[in-house]
Chain A
Amino acid sequence: MNTDDRRAISREYFSRERLAEHHFRSFNAFLGRGMQEVVDEKATIETDIGDKEGEEPVYVELGDIRVVTPRVREADGSEELLYPQEARLRNITYAAPVFMEMAIIKGGFEEEERVVDQTETKIGRMPVMVGSDKCNISGFSHEELIDIGEDPADPGGYFIVNGSERVLMTSEDLAPNKILAETDTKYGDQIEVAKTFSQRRGYRALVLCERNREGLLEVSFPSVSGSINFVTLVRALGLESDEEIVHRVSDDPEIVKFMLENLEAAEVQTTEGAIEALGKRVAAGQGKNYQLKRANYVIDRYLLPHLHEDGVDEEEVRINKAYYLCRMAEACFELALGRRDADDKDHYANKRLKVSGDLMKDLFRTALNKLARDVKYQLERANMRNRQLSVSTVVRSDVLTERLEHPIATGNWVGGRSGVSQLVDRTDYMGVLSHLRRLRSPLSRSQPHFEARDLHATQWGRICPSETPEGPNCGLVKNFAQAMELSQHVEDEQTLKQELAAMGVEGIPGVESIEQPADD
C-alpha cells in the first residue's frame, strides 16, 4: 500500500468519529439514562413527620428529571444561552439548569394519601461537557463555530468550571462481579484466595473466599470482622444438606475430598442454626431477636449485593448467593490443585474503564442524597413551624450545584480519590488530544508495582505501547491506541435475559421460560 492510499484511509477513518468519542458517549448516556436511573433508585424522600401522634406521614415522590442546555442568568435577571467561549472569558461555569418533578404526599394513617403539592422545580445546575448532546454548540457547522468564538478543530470533551477547562481522567479498575483467584501468603503459608468485587449502584464490596492453613474455607465480606466459616454461611443462605453443597461446588473427586473435610469440621447443620451462629457473630451480646434480624440484614445488604435484581424475589436471590459462593470455593480448590492458573490482574479482560459519565453518575448519586437529606430537614422544619408545605420552598438548589461543581473544580472525588479532574493541557493541539485520551491507574505512584507497569500482551491494539511518561508514573499512566474503540456497559440485564430466554435458555432467575409450542 503506498503512502497516498494509507493517507486516504487514515483521513477517512478519523473523519468518522471524534477523537474523544468515548467521553461524549459516556456523558451523553449519563445525561440521557444515567441521571434518571439514579433518581429512580432513590424514588422517594422519607421524613420523620408521621412518627408522632396525630400527624400524618409525609413523603416526597421523585419523578422525571430533565436537563436543558447551558444558560446564564445576569444580575438584572435576564437569561441567555451560554456559549463555551463566554464561560471561559467570564470565569463562570458552563452549566445547565436541572429540573425534576417532585410531589409532596401526605397521609396514610387516618386520612387518604393525597398530593399536597406537585411541580417541576429547578434543583440545581449540572456542568455540561463541551461538545456533548446538551452543549449549545453541538451540531454547529464550521462557520457557526467561528462566529460563536470557538475553534472548529477543538475536540471538546472537557468541562468548563469557573472559567478553567477540566478533563475527567478515565481510570482503570478491576472488573466487578468477576471471580478472580490468586495465591497469597499468610503467616508464612501459601493460601489460595478467590476474590470478587461485587458492585451494585455505587456500592462496591470485596467478598473473599480463602482456604486457610488447615484447608478449611472461610469467607469474609464487609461489615463482618474477620472471616466466617464457609459451610456455616452457605447453610445460612439455604443450602442445607451435605450432598447439595458438595454437588454445587464440584463433582471432581479430589475437590469432593476437600469438601468432605470441610463438612466434617462444620459447626452447624441446619439453616436456622447457621443464621443463629451468624447472628452471634455480627451482633454479639444482643438479644436473640436482634441477632437474627441483623444477620438477615447483613446477608441481604452486604454479601454479594450484585446478585440482587428487580425481577427476582428474595429466597431465590439467597440461593443464588449460595451457588456463587460455591463457585468461588471451586475456584480456590482448582487453584490449589493446579488445574487453574492464578488470574492475571493485568490482563485487560479483567479490567474496566471508568469514563466521565460513570464518574459523574457517582457524583450525582451523592449529590442527590445530600439534596434529599436537606429536603427532609426543610420539610420537618416547615412542618414544625406550621407552614404550608410546597415544593418550591423546600428545595435548595445551591446544595446540588455545589456538590457537582466542587469536585470537578478541585479534582477531589467522592470516595476519597484526588486528581480525577485535571486542567486541559493546552500546550499544543497534540497535547490536547493526548490528554483527552489518557488513562490512569489508581495504584500508588510511590510503590514499585512492577507487573502493573509492564507492557501486557493484551494491550495490543488497545493501549499505546510507547506513549507513557517517564519517572514515577511510568506504566501507570497510559494512552489509548490510535484505532481504539471503547464498548459501553448497559446495566439493564432484563432485555438480555429475555432475549436468551426467547432463544431457549432455561432456568434464568426472574424470567419465566417460554413454553415451546408443540410441532404439530
Chain B
Amino acid sequence: MSSTTTPTTNCPECDGQLRDAERETVCTECGLVVAEDAIDRGPEWRSFDDDETNPARTGAPLTRSRHDRGLSTEIGRSSRVKGRKRRRLARMRRQHSRAQISSKADRNQVYGFTEIRRIVSALDLPTAIRDRSCVLFESAQSADLLRGRSLEGFAAATVYATCRADSLARTTDEIVAVAKATENELSAAYDALNRELGLPTGPIDPREYLARFASSLSLPSAVERTAREYAQLAHDRNIVSGRNPGGVAAACLYAAATDHDHDLTQRAAADEAGVTPVTLRTTYYDLKDD
C-alpha cells in the first residue's frame, strides 16, 4: 500500500530499524518495504536558464584521463577584480595548482597521461581509447612496473595495447612516429605490461589494417572489399600465423589492386605497412598459389 508519510515506528514484522531512502522506507534487518511512494514529485522538465545555476549540477564529468579523476578545482579568472586583489588571486592560483600534485607518483602520472593524450590526439583515436590507456597506465604504476623503464615508453605501450585489445591495431611504427618514446622503450614497456598484467591481446588480424592502408593509398572501396576476401582466404589457408600481419594486409591489398587493374606498386604497399617488398612478395605468391 502507498503512503505519503513515513512511520516513525519500527518494522512491523521484525521490529528492526527503518531506513528512509528516496521513495521507499525499508527495514534494514528483514528488508520489508514498509512504505513507498511511486510518484516522483520532482520538476516535470529541466530549465536551462543561463542565469540560474543549480549548485547540484556543477563540474565536469569524472574522467579517468586525469590524475585526480576530474575532481580537482581551479581558481577562476574574472576581469572584474583589479590590482592588488588580482595579483593575490594569481599567487593563490599558482599555489593551488601546485598543491594538486602531491607526490612523485602523481607527477609521473600527470606526465604519462599528458603523453597519452598527445599520442591519442595525434593519431585521431576515439576518447574511449584515451581513457582506457590511462587506466592501464595507472595499473602499471600500482604494479610497480615503471621502475627502471621510461614513462614515455609506457605511455606509448598503453596506447598500443589498448588499440590492440579493441581490434583497432596500430603498428609500432605508427605509434613511435608520434610518440616521444623510441621503439626499444616501447617494446620493453609492452613486454612488461603483457607479462605482469596479462593483457587480453592475441595475434593481430590483418583485416584491422586494411581500412587504414586502403584509405591512405587512396584505393577505391571495391579494391578494399576484394582485399578483405583475400584476407579471409589467407586465414582459411593458415598463411597468417607467423607472418607480420601488416605484411599480409599489404599483400591482400596488392593482390586486390592487380585484380582490379588498379595502379599500385609492391614498394608502395610495402612501405605503407612498414615491411620490405620481399615479405609482401612471398605472401602474395602464397595467396595466389592455387
Identify which of B114, B122, B216 contacts A79 (C-beta below 8 A).
Answer: B216
Asked if A122 meets B215 with Cβ closer than 8 Å, knowing A76-B208, A387-B180, A418-B50, the reply is no
Q: Which of chain B's residues have a CB closer than 8 A to the CB of A73? A: 124
Q: Which of chain B's residues have a CB closer than 8 A to the CB of A122? A: 122
Q: Which of chain B's residues have a CB closer than 8 A to the CB of A382? A: 180
Complex interface residues of chain B between 167 and 194 (CB less than 8 A to chain A):
168, 170, 177-180
Complex interface residues of chain B between 95 and 114 (CB less than 8 A to chain A):
111, 114
Residue of B nearest to A382 (CB): B180
Cα-based distance from A122 to B208 in the complex (angstroms): 24
Do A75 and B50 have beta carbons less than 8 Å apart?
no
B238 at the A interface (CB under 8 A): no
Residue of A nearest to B128 (CB): A75
Complex interface residues of chain A between 395 and 429 (CB less than 8 A to chain B):
396-398, 401, 416, 418-419
Cα-based distance from A451 to B121 in the complex (angstroms): 51
Number of interface residues of B (CB under 8 A): 26
Cα-based distance from A225 to B177 in the complex (angstroms): 53
In the complex, how many angstroms separate the beta carbon of A32 from the nearest chain B beta carbon?
Answer: 26
Contact string against A for B residues 195-237, beta-carbon threshold 8 Å, 1 for contact and 0 otherwise: 0000000000000100110111000000000000000000000
Contact string against B for A residues 267-301, beta-carbon threshold 8 Å, 1 for contact and 0 otherwise: 00000000000000000000000000000000000
B43 at the A interface (CB under 8 A): no
Do B179 and A393 have beta carbons less than 8 Å apart?
yes
Cα-based distance from A78 to B216 in the complex (angstroms): 7
Q: Which of B111, B118, B125, B178 has the most chain A CB atoms inside 10 A of its CB?
A: B118
B142 at the A interface (CB under 8 A): no
Cα-based distance from A419 to B126 in the complex (angstroms): 30
Total A-B contacts with CB atoms under 8 angstroms apart = 51
B59 at the A interface (CB under 8 A): no
Complex interface residues of chain A between 305 and 336 (CB less than 8 A to chain B):
none
Residue of A nearest to B77 (CB): A416
Do B214 and A396 have beta carbons less than 8 Å apart?
no
Give the size range of A's interface with the partner: 20 to 34
B83 at the A interface (CB under 8 A): yes
Do A393 and B180 have beta carbons less than 8 Å apart?
yes
B4 at the A interface (CB under 8 A): no
A338 at the B interface (CB under 8 A): no
Residue of A nearest to B111 (CB): A381
In the complex, how many angstroms separate the beta carbon of B82 from the nearest chain A beta carbon?
Answer: 9
A392 at the B interface (CB under 8 A): yes
Complex interface residues of chain A between 215 and 229 (CB less than 8 A to chain B):
225
Q: Which of chain B's residues have a CB closer than 8 A to the CB of A74? A: 211
In the complex, how many angstroms separate the beta carbon of B47 from the nearest chain A beta carbon?
Answer: 16
Q: List 25 A-B contacts (CB under 8 A).
A: A73-B124, A74-B211, A75-B126, A76-B208, A77-B123, A77-B168, A77-B170, A77-B212, A78-B215, A79-B215, A122-B122, A392-B177, A393-B118, A393-B179, A393-B180, A396-B114, A396-B117, A396-B118, A396-B121, A397-B118, A397-B121, A397-B122, A401-B121, A418-B50, A419-B50
Instruction: Name B's A-contacting residues (CB within 8 A).
Output: 50, 79, 83, 111, 114, 117-118, 121-126, 152, 168, 170, 177-180, 208, 211-212, 214-216
Additional pairs, 15, CB under 8 Å, beyond known A76-B211, A392-B178: A75-B125, A76-B168, A76-B212, A77-B168, A77-B212, A77-B215, A78-B211, A79-B216, A225-B83, A396-B118, A397-B118, A397-B121, A398-B121, A401-B121, A418-B50
